[in-house]
Structure formats: structure tokens, C-alpha cells
Chains A and B, each alone.
Chain A
Amino acid sequence: MSTRLARRLERNGLGLLSPPLVLLLLVFLLPLLAMVPTSLHPYIPGKGIGEGFTAEHYVKALTDTYYLEIIGRTLALGLIVTLICLALGYPLAFFLARTQSRWRPWLMLLVVFPLLLNLVVRTFGWIALLANRGLVNDTLVALGIVETPVKLLFNFSGLLIALSHIFLPFMVLVLVGVIRNLPRDVEDAARTLGAGWATTFLRVTLPLSLPGILAGSILVFVLTVSALVTPRLLGGPTYKVMSTLIYDQFLQLLNWPAGAALSFILTAIAVGLISLSSAVARRLGAGA
């Protein structure tokens, strides 16, 4: 028995993987699972977690329009931020991966540079820029593009702008790695076979960079829907997304059961979307 187990562990590499696996189970999965019963207990205002089991927190989160709006807003934010990062990041990553410039390392550093600044500082920077009397609005008004300041704080567009900026480096870094590793010969082959620049890009370069697009998108999406500091500061106390909602449930209302239930819903949505997009990408990759 023990030798059979040993052989099995050896064959699939689980043996090698088991120390970090055990660590992950202990410090990550167990505390997470410990939250499951919490999410199923009733909450008694003023007293805290009650006895017995109930699914009311899940039911409420998935039926109450207040919660549904926040869930929808969070997902929309994640999706649009991902698309913006992709649209801005792909051309940038393509340039950085392909440029022969000797400034390339410095340009890469510029991409990473925002990550070296504290997140709170960057977010306050956006507050200064996006406020009603901030730089953006003052400029727009001065140029006569708008008459009164556009509301960019404490709403969707402010979050969109700030989160796209904050997570863009992640998308770029993932894509640069993938695009750099694309075989140039393959693109040259397409061109010698009669494909112009656009066709070569659409039929060869883009499909081959799909794994990078997928990895970068998942990363940005997950980071966006779970971001707490930026939505809290730019959304204010009233304009909420799921992470700030969960934070409030846990730390303001001390409603741990509801907070735990919302956490699991967020996790389930993220995991579901990721597996769905992986499946789609695998089919695209095989069929293209």
C-alpha cells in the first residue's frame, strides 16, 4: 500500500508538490471553509451571530434589488475595466515586446513604475484629478468643452478610470511576456504565403497570443472585482461595490454571516467566469 502510494505520488509529481499544498490547505482553504458555517447562521441585530442554520443571507443577496444592483455593478466594473486594460494594454505590450529601441528596459520600467507607488497614494492622486474642482474638470471647463464640471467622483466612471489605470500594468506585463515568445518565423511564413499585415495579425499573431490575453484578463478581472481601497476612497461611503459591501458588513455592521455569504457569492462568480472563459478559449484555440 505505502509503496503503491509512493509510486503514485512520484508519477504525477504530487509528492514534489505536497509541502506547498499542505501549507495552502492549512492557511488558505481551511480558514475559508471555516467561514461556510458562519455564512449559514442567522444574524440577530444588536446581539450578533445566532444559533441554528439558515440560508437567508444567500437568498437575500440574490433576490434583494439593493444587493443585486451592487453585484451587477461589480461585475460590470470588472468586465469593462478588463476590456479597457486589454484595449490599451495590447498595443502597448505589442510595441514593448517588438521594439528594438535601446530604451526598452526604461519603457518597461515606466510600465511598472505606478506599482512602486502606494495604492492609497495613487488613489488620492485620482481624487485630486477627478474632483469637481480637480485638474481634469478645470481643464475641460477652461477649454470650453463642458460648461459645468462633469461628475467623476463617487460614481461608476471615476471607479472605471482609476481601476483601469491601476491594473493596466498587470495586463501589459502578462501580454509582453507572451508576445515576446511568439515565434517571428511563423508570422514571416504567413507573410510569404500572401497574408498582408492585418491578415497576419488577425489569423496568426492574435490567435497565438490568446493564452496571454486570457491570463491577463482573468488577472485584471479578479483584481478589479476584489479591489477594496480604490472603490472605498473613490466611491465614498454610499457608492458601493461587492468588496466594500462585504467590508462594511464585517466591520461596520458586525454582520459576519451576511458578509461571509456575500464573499462566497463573489468567489463563486469569479471562479465560474474564469472556468467559462478558459473553456471558450480552449475551444477557440483548438478550432482556429
Chain B
Amino acid sequence: MSDLRLERLVKRYGSLAAVDGISLAVDEGSFLSLVGPSGCGKTTVLRMVAGLIEPDGGRILVGGDDLTDVAVHKRNLGLVFQSYALFPHMTVAQNVAFGLQRRGVPKAEIGQLVRKALQMVRLEGLAERAPRQLSGGQQQRTALARALVVEPRLLLLDEPFSNLDALLRDEMRIEIKRLQQEVGITTLFVTHDQGEALGMADQVAVMNRGRLEQVAPPRTLYRAPTSAFVAHFIGRANLLRGRVAGRDGEDLVVALASGATVRARGAVAGEACQVVLRQESVRLAAAPDAAANSLAATVVVASFAGATAQYLLRLADGAELHAQVPGARADLAPGTAVFAEWDAADTTVVPDAA
């Protein structure tokens, strides 16, 4: 078990920098999600850590050892692939035993370790099955057992849930988190799904176009994004573009393009800014409230989803605003004129990226 440290890692494909100077630290025993849209370079980072892609610059340190130039098969890392990548010509038990055989573990011991590993992922009865005879979830458990049985220094997960259906995905998410905590292994988890990233990790690193946007614990990332990209990517927040017009006690006064002013919290360098407003922070009212932020709006789309209801509103200046309200109180038809309200304390500001 070791910590992972990336120092200014770079990978170029031609003139394009797929990974553009990433520095990142994953503490011993902790779980870091690396999340970003497809093509942002997150999988390239993971494959560089595994040794499957050679970096063009920077260093990879595991437990203080520089692994940058160490061959793949000597790194002793556990990697679970998106496709699971089980050996199709071997049984489940042979798959799990593969890494142990490479390490020269005595035969009798291998049998015992394989049995224990399969027990850990609850596949005891399926040891003699071929991978093609297993369900997606069982294949993933096999891949997990195969990666963990060799006691690797790191566990690397490359989009492990994307081939599972929704129900199984939730189950495996909890399963993997439980295993990770039990084994206490340092884990780097790559995903494009912000829900998975937040739900599993101690720390979340958001990547965009080869660079890190923000690294923070899930709650901080959600409540206090530092860029418009992170605010939108994590939880699809509303972003209201405006200029800082002044300060009133704790609040920033922001003038929106429509001329209306709203109050927000946080600090930003310069004047141009965007107010981050979470969908669930928006309340809908029939009359304006002078005490809170309040903007006139029209309901465009109403979508009822049981516990919550989703509204798409159009503001006076044409900008769109998403609102998520408790389902029990949602009965507004499209076309209804409403006032969208929220508390300044529920907002934050980020620099205007445009």
C-alpha cells in the first residue's frame, strides 16, 4: 500500500497535448476519482500510471519510488479495465491465479489465495467457469479479484461501470467501495460520470482538455466550484453571467446582463463573473420577494419525476434557468409566469471563462 504522486505529467499526440502537465497526489489508502468529459485525457493519465502509455514528461511516484521508467509488468499495480479484459481461454480461477503465478507463488498457496480472493468478491461457486459463462457483474468481480489478489500497491479503475446496467452499477459501486475500504488500498478511479465520481471518492479531480480544473473533496467541489466548467460539469449548475457591481456586507452585488441585480457569495478577481446557482436552490413563487434574490420568469418545460420536479424557466433577458423543486408542490404548467427566488448564501461566484 502506497501513496501516488504525479508530477507535471505530460503526454502529447502530435501537436495536441492529451495530458498537459498534471500534478496530483492520492494519499495512502484514499480513493481519488478522476472525472471529466470524454477526450479530456483522464484515461491517458491512468494508462500512464499503469505503464501502458509512456509519458512525454513528468514523473510518477508510488510510495516514493519513481515508476516513470519502470516496465509495466514490474510496477505491481492492479488495473480493472472497462472491458474487464479477462483471459477468455482460462477459467475464473486461472484468471485470478495468473498474477500469482507470475510472482512465483508456490502452487499450494496459489490455490488458497485464489479461493480467498473469490470469496472476497462472492464468486466461490464459479471458480471453474469460463468468463463467457458469467454475467457482466460476475465478470467484473472476477477482474477485481484478479487485480487485488496480488496485493498491488495501487488499484486503478478505468470506467469499470460503463458496461453494466443501471441497477447492477449501483450494486457494484457499493461493492467496490466496500472492498476498497476493507483492503485499504490507494485507488485511482477514472470515470466520465460525475455521480459515480462524487459517490465513491474521498477526493475528486476534475479534468478538462488535458488539465486539472479542480481537486477537492466531493462536498467542496459541489458547493464551491472554482470554475464555470466544474460548476456545470458537476451537477449541471445554472450559470448567470454578470459583473461585480459592489459589495454589501457579506454579499457581492452582481449586475446581470438584463440589468437586474442579484446577491451572491464568494470572491472573484476582476469584474466579469458567473453566479453559480444550484438547481435545487431555486424556489418558485407567485409574487416577488424583496428580501431574497427574485427574478421574473416563464415556465417553458415542466417535468415531474416523483420526489422532485424539474422546471426549465426563461428569464426576462432570454437566459434559461433550471429549477428542481420538491415534487409534492409542483403543479405549474408551461407558460405560467413565476418568480424564481434563491438565497445569496446558496450561491457562489466563479470567474467568467468566456
Contacts and interface: CB of A to CB of B under 8 A. Distances in A.
A183 interface: yes
B99 A183 contact: no
A288 B89 contact: yes
Interface in A161-194: 183, 185-186, 188-194
Contacts of B78: 192
Contact of B52 (A188, A194, A207): A188
B76 A189 contact: no
B146 interface: yes
A67 B233 CA distance: 79
A92 interface: no
Contact of A185 (B75, B85, B89, B103): B85
A106 to B, nearest CB: 22
A188 B76 contact: no
Nearest to A185: B85
Interface in A204-233: 204, 207-208
A194 B147 CA distance: 11
B89 A189 contact: no
Nearest to A207: B89
A226 to B, nearest CB: 32
Given A183-B83, A185-B83, A196-B73, A190 B88 contact: no
B239 interface: no
A285 interface: yes
Nearest to B152: A192
Given A183-B85, A207-B89, A189 B71 contact: no
A157 interface: no
Contacts of A191: 51-52, 72-73
A190 B77 contact: no
B120 to A, nearest CB: 17
B50 A192 contact: yes
Interface in B153-182: none
Contact of B89 (A193, A195, A196, A208): A208
A139 interface: no
A275 interface: no
Contacts of B143: 189
Interface string A255-288: 0000000000000000000000000000001001
Nearest to B74: A194
Contacts, number: 68
B323 interface: no
A192 B73 contact: yes
A199 B77 CA distance: 18
Contacts of A203: 98
B81 interface: yes
Interface residues of A, number: 20
Nearest to A284: B89
B86 interface: yes
A125 B190 CA distance: 59
A280 B78 CA distance: 35
A190 to B, nearest CB: 7
Nearest to B82: A185
B304 interface: no
B277 to A, nearest CB: 42
A192 B153 CA distance: 12
Contact of A192 (B79, B83, B103): B79
A183 B83 CA distance: 9
A192 B84 CA distance: 13
Contacts of B98: 190, 193, 195, 203
Contacts of A285: 89
A189 B87 contact: yes
Contacts of B74: 194
A199 B320 CA distance: 58
B71 A196 contact: yes
A189 B142 CA distance: 13
B227 to A, nearest CB: 33
Given A189-B87, A204-B87, A207-B89, A194 B81 contact: no
B102 A199 contact: yes
B85 A194 contact: no
B88 A186 contact: yes
Among A185, A199, A288, residue most surrounded by chain B Cβ atoms (within 10 Å) = A185
Given A189-B79, A288-B89, 16 more contacts: A186-B85, A186-B87, A186-B88, A188-B81, A189-B146, A191-B51, A191-B52, A192-B72, A192-B75, A193-B102, A193-B150, A194-B73, A194-B103, A195-B73, A208-B88, A208-B89
22 contacts: A183-B83, A185-B83, A186-B86, A186-B87, A188-B72, A188-B79, A189-B87, A189-B143, A190-B87, A191-B73, A192-B51, A192-B52, A192-B78, A193-B73, A194-B73, A194-B74, A194-B76, A194-B150, A196-B71, A200-B73, A204-B87, A207-B89
| A-B complex: 3 closest residue pairs judged by Cβ atoms | A194-B102, A185-B85, A193-B99
